Structure 1
């Protein structure tokens, strides 16, 4: 899941008006994963 979110967040056109909602959702999802699953995340990836 993290790698797919990373793809969405790192898109060069992620902040264009057509994509900004997907970007915001991906950032929000990443934050929730970090908040609730921080002990099982391998930060080196």
Structure 2
């Protein structure tokens, strides 16, 4: 559940624009950036 939240938050924080007007490769790039944000945001604070 936290992973989904942080993934979507990554879209809000990092991206602008309409996905329907983007190329597939750019859409995949944005998904990977949102996943990268999610991985960093889900790290427990005691591990930092």
The TM-score range, normalised by the shorter chain, is: 0.3 to 0.5
> Which has the higher relative contact order, 1 or 2, with Cα contacts under 8 A spaced 6 or more apart?
2
TM-score, normalisation: structure 1 = 0.47
TM-score, normalisation: structure 2 = 0.45
Higher helix share: 2
